[in-house]
Structure 1
Amino acid sequence: MKKILLPTDFSENSINAIHYALNLFEHDTCTFFILHVKSSTSYTTDDLMLAGSESLYDSIVKGTKDQLDNLVARLKKQFNNKNFQYETIVDYDILIAAIKQVKTSKQIDLIVMGSNGVTGAKEVVFGSNTINVIRNVDSDILVIPEGFQFEKLKEILLPLDSFDSMGGKAFSKILKFVKAYSSKLHVLRINQNGITLDVQNNDLKNIAYFLKDFPGIYHNINGVPMHFAVSNYIQTHAIGLTILIEQKELLFERFFMGSSTTKIGNNIEVPLLVFHSS
């Protein structure tokens, strides 16, 4: 059974990410943990005064729990999938701390969230909340662009640079995901300083071994920043999802950062699945 964490701030963007997850995993047995995190900064003196003799839980947290229960009721009606179970969680904490706690206590396999956080703040590519979760939570994360409508996955893009290896735990999880949810894998080996013949030959051997009987396409690209190569490749191919192998801060340096003329912009173009290398 998959255990999937779905943080929500009840925005249209976060609900869209939840819908994407339920569509993607429709044939799997899943428990979805729908989490809403309340911050102390969201409460005012007036909120506490209005609580009167009620407890803080009854006056504030219970209202949020009711919202989550109503959301689950709508999801059950819309998707009507007997393989799905739901659990709602309201936490009074900082977002990152709350997600870490749920990940550990519920043994979460994947986090799915929208590309913009509740604050609406943006950082290079997408919401600062999402960036912070990728940076600080040791979990695989699927990020859904704002307004992106689910389509059955067919072709997936895997960009690699000199730090990435076709081996190890992350690559094994990538292969499992690709074979389960798509029909073709595009591999881009990108190195701004040039790719050696040994690296290329090793890649081709690995693809022949790991992707035996599964359609795969391999390209090597020299002298082009990763974010620029990926953006252009997505625009010229029917890519439905991009996968990255996260290696601490290197992910952001390789994929998101760049000059003002070459960085991808403020929005990712297709869903982004980040697998941690550790």
Structure 2
Amino acid sequence: MKTILLLTDFSDSATNAIHYAMRFFQSKTCVFHVMNVHKTGSFISDDLMTSPTENIYESFTKVPKQKLKTLVEDLEGSYNNPNHKFEIIVDFDVFTDAVNQAIKRNNIDYVVMGSNGITGAIEVVFGSNAINVIRQVICKTLIVPSDYTFKPISTFLLPLQFDDAIKSEQLKTISNFTTNYKLKLHVLRVCVKNETTNSISSDQEHLNGYNCKYSVEEETSFYQAVTNYLKTNAIDMTGLIVHDKNFIERLFTESPALELSKVIKVPLMIFHTREI
């Protein structure tokens, strides 16, 4: 049984990601924990006066609980999948703290959320909550573009940055994922133009025995290489291996929003190798 954490702020982007998850995990036995996180500071005194008989927690949770119940009822009615069960969670905390607590408490296998946000260059692509989850939450995370419509999935691209060193444990995790969901694995090694790399021979050694398509592309920009590959290959999902905080900071500070937006045209699965 899979345990999936579905994050929602009730936006169209979040709802689209949840519907994607219903289709992606449709053949699996799952418990979906549908979660909404609120900041207590977003409430005003009038919220506490709506019903004098309710305690503070009940006042805070009444509206989001009802919205989650309505959402779950819609999902149950739309998909009618006997292998899917739903639980709802309302929390008041720092967003990533609430997510990490839910992951630990419910033994979550995957987090699912929408991609885009409201303000800022990078936030337009990923959304501030998605960025914070990538930075601070150690769990496989599926980020779905806000306007992406589900289609049958058959291919998965793992692009490796210039200094990425793929390890056996990471490769096993990714191979298990692609095998479990019957996806053809593509591995793209991006090299700096006019420079040789020892990573290629290391890749080939680690990939020996795995059923995958291995390609090398010389580019000055990692994201341009990925964009080029997506143009010439039918890819249904991409993945990134997040090694540490330095990797994440480089990912967001050295990559213009325009380049990131090209990569996030298809769903993105984040894998982590570090510990909290």
Provide the TM-score with structure 1 as the length reference.
0.88
The equivalent of 2:221 in structure 1 is: 225
Q: What one-letter code is carried by the residue in structure 1 that aligns with 2:170?
A: A
Whole-angstrom distance in 2 between the partners of 1:81 and 1:98: 28
**Contact 2:114–2:145 (Cα < 8 Å) also in 1:** yes
Which sections of structure 1, spanning at least 5 residues, go unmatched? none
1:217, distance to aligned residue in structure 2 (A): 1.8
Deviations 1:20-63 (A, max 9, x none): 11111111111111111111122012222333343223333122
Alignment correspondent of 1:174: 174
- Kept after mapping to 1: 8 A contact 2:227/2:263: no
The CA deviation at 1:123 is: 4.9
Q: Which residue of 2 aligns with 1:132?
A: 132
Q: 1:260: Cα distance to partner?
A: 5.1
CA distance in 1, matches of 2:199, 2:86: 45
Aligned mate of 1:121, from 119, 122, 140:
119
Partners of 2:191 and 2:241 lie apart in 1 by: 15
In the superposition, relative to structure 1, how do residues 254 and 241 fare at CA in structure 2: closer, same or farther (>3 Å)? Answer: farther
Within the candidate set 229, 232, 236, 1:236 is matched to 232
Contact 2:219–2:225 (CA<8 Å) still a contact in 1? no
Cα deviation code 1:132-169 (max 9, x no counterpart): 01101111111001111111111111111354334343
Contact 1:256 / 1:263 at 8 angstroms: preserved in 2? no
Instruction: Report if aligned partners of 2:5, 2:32 keep a CA contact under 8 Å in 1.
Output: yes
In 2, Cα distance between equivalents of 1:6 and 1:150: 16
Q: 1:274 aligns with which of 258, 270, 274?
A: 270
Q: How does 1:76-87 map to 2 (within 5 A)?
A: 76-87=76-87
SS state at 2:112 partner: strand
Q: Which residue of 2 aligns with 1:252?
A: 248
State the distance in 2 between where 1:195 and 1:255 align: 22
Matches of 2:271 and 2:97, distance apart in 1: 20
SS at match of 2:50: helix
**1:154 aligns to 2:154 (yes or no):** yes
After superposition, residues 1-278 of structure 1 pair within 5 angstroms as 1-117=1-117, 120-124=118-122, 125-192=125-192, 194-196=195-197, 198-211=198-211, 216-253=212-249, 255-258=251-254, 263-265=259-261, 268-278=264-274
8 Å contact 2:37–2:91 — kept in the other structure?
Answer: yes
Q: Letter of the aligned partner of 2:134 in structure 1?
A: I
Q: Quick one: structure 1 residues 266 and 129, their matched pair in 2 at CA, closer, same or farther if it must change by over 3 Å?
A: farther
Q: Contact 1:116–1:129 at 8 Å: present in 2 too?
A: no
The 2-side partners of 1:37 and 1:107 are apart by: 18
Tell me: CA distance 1:9–1:192, structure 2 relative to 1, closer, same or farther (3 Å). same
1:205-251 deviations in Å (ceiling 9; x for gaps):
4333122xxxx221112342212211222123211110111012344
Relative to structure 1, the CA distance from residue 235 to residue 107 in structure 2 (aligned partners, 3 Å threshold; closer, same or farther) is same
Q: Which stretches in structure 2 are left out of the alignment for 5+ residues?
A: none
Q: CA, structure 1 residues 97+219, in 2 after alignment: closer, same or farther (shift >3 Å)?
A: same
Give me the whole-angstrom Cα distance separating, in 2, the residues matched to 1:185 and 1:14: 27
Question: Which secondary structure does the structure 1 equivalent of 2:209 belong to?
Answer: helix
Determine the C-alpha separation between the residues in 2 that align with 1:98 and 1:183: 32
Partner of 1:264, secondary structure, is helix
The SS at the match of 1:89 is strand
Native 8 Å contact 2:135 2:248 kept in 1? no
The count of corresponding residues between Structure 1 and Structure 2 is: 271
